[in-house]
Amino acid sequence: MKTLLLAGAAALVRAVAAEDKAAAVFGYMPADMVRNIQCQVCKTPELTGTVTDSCCNYETVDVATQAHFHPLLDELRTLSFFRYFKADLTKECPFWHSNNQCANRDCSVCECAKEEIPAKWYAQDEAAKEAREREAQQPCDDQRGEGELSKIDRANAAVGTNFNPWSTAAIEDDVPNEDAMIYVNLLENPERFTGYSGNSAWRVWKAIYEENCFHSDELCLEERVYYRLISGLHTSINTHVALDFRFGDHWGPNTNMFVDRVGAFPERLQNMYFTYLFVLRAVGRYREVLLNYDYSTGNAYDDQRVPEHVLRALFDVDNTAFNASCRAPRLGRPPARPVSAQV
């Protein structure tokens, strides 16, 4: 969860910064295509003033994103710790039967070869695998170990002390099948259009919105925040899909899709900014943990760069306008400005 906060922040930063990235590719496009893109994007409303339910304004968030967060997080995602992700891609959907077949080759996810997996992680996985195999080969009596010695004679226990304490049982579905886990290089599998659409995609988002009971126009604060977070995430995903869309044999920004799904809806854009600020705030609250986290992968260069970038992302900011715009209670910090904690 802790490292996913930074990964989520990086994804949202890229979504907020998407307009600048699209502008950067204009120089490689024919003039008529550039004019068409500009015509479409001009339909997107310009956001000004304060981001609702926060204490920041759009203008200073944009400046801080482009000048500080985007460069740092864009490089962070290329380093080993954030580049490689471990997942079980064969796990069944727990909510409904899902047809996992897709005719589009871009739906597939490329598994990392053994040689590509960070050396330290691979060694840890192999050690854990050997331990599981040894445990599986042990008779049940041996697996109990000193269980017999842990029995307690409660016959003479004082009144009020003979009770069964609470115990935490692991939910079977939450226990990962380590033998089915693989590593994925996220740079080789970027967030973009994969052809996943139609009823399957529609059913996912329909369930997310409807099963969370967002049916009333008068939501309490907690419900409104929750809805805005989901909407902001949805908007971020659509922005990435539109930014890197497949047109036959090449990829590029699909401005029509962006306007139809995001740009023509001011509320969706506002919710994306709100979600971005919310994630930055969460990162700020976790900053002490993030600063002391073990980011080692066995790659000496990357292992040095990651903590440095995390430190800079959390504290090393000098943007007076952003600090003035995004004031909030501070939670104790090193002698520097933790902008993430002010959002």
Q: What is the separation of C-alpha 146 from the centre of its chain, rounded to a whole number of angstroms?
A: 42
Q: Is 132 annotated as a binding residue?
A: no
Give CA–CA dist 253/22, Å, rounded. 7
- Would the annotation count 205 as a binding residue? yes
CB-based contacts of 258, cutoff 8 Å, min separation 6: 40, 41, 44, 238, 239, 242, 243
Q: Is 194 annotated to bind ligand? A: yes
Q: Can you tell me the distance from the alpha carbon of 256 to that of 244, in angstroms, rounded to the nearest whole number?
A: 13
Counting Cα atoms < 13 Å in the Cβ hemisphere of 200 gives 10
Q: Is 192 annotated as a binding residue?
A: yes
Report the distance separating Cα 261 and Cα 113, nearest Å.
Answer: 37
Find, among 74, 92, 70, the residue nearest to 83 by Cα: 74
Structure tokens at 38: 């500009």
Q: What is the Cα–Cα distance from 3 to 229, expressed in whole angstroms?
A: 19
State the DSSP code for 252: E
Distance CA 287, CA 338 (A): 9
Q: Which of 330, 331, 287 is nearest to 311 (CA)?
A: 287
**For residue 91, how far is the Cα from the chain centroid?**
20
- Residue 68 known to bind ligand: no
- Is 14 among the annotated ligand-binding positions? no
How is residue 106 annotated by DSSP?
G
For residue 31, the one-letter residue type is A
C-alpha closest to that of 83 among 110, 52, 46: 110
Residues belonging to the binding site for FAD are 192, 194, 205, 231, 234, 261
Instruction: Write out the binding residues.
Output: 192, 194, 205, 231, 234, 261
